[in-house]
Amino acid sequence: MITKRTPAPTRRRSTEGVTGYQANAFFNQMWLVISDHCETGAHSTGVDYYGGACIINPMGEEVATLGPEEGMIIYTADLDAEVLRSRTESFYGLTLLQDRRPELYREVSATTS
């Protein structure tokens, strides 16, 4: 999942925001790539964008970070292995996949006209 942060008036990277992203990655057992551009006084409102791109693994750990400067971060991982690890031995020894009931997914996600 890739998400873009919303602009924040003149502040540095929000630790509260990162904690929320880490929690989402952990609870959903998925990778998150967070991005934002870096610019001060942007647009007609004078909003400052503080950057702080990061990559968060399925255990909620920030594995790569970029500060307020413009740039690119790269992190190499075996995605399938990391997701499997996060859903098995890394999650208190529980296998989260065993509790899923895919036979109900269609019924839950069906739309009515």
Extents of the domains making up the chain: 2-109
Where residue 5 falls among pLDDT bands split at 50, 70, 90? low
Work out the pLDDT band at 63, boundaries 50, 70, 90: very high
Tens-digit pLDDT profile for residues 25-60: 888 878 899 887 777 777 777 777 778 889 998 888
**81 pLDDT higher than 90:** no
The arrangement of secondary structure in 2-109, i.e. its CATH architecture, is 4-Layer Sandwich (3.60)
Q: What is the pLDDT of residues 89-105, one digit of tens each?
A: 776 767 766 777 778 87
φ, ψ for residue 91, nearest 5 deg: -100, 70
For the stretch 70-75, contacts whose Cβ atoms lie closer than 8 Å and that sit 24 or more positions apart, written own/partner, are 70/37, 70/38
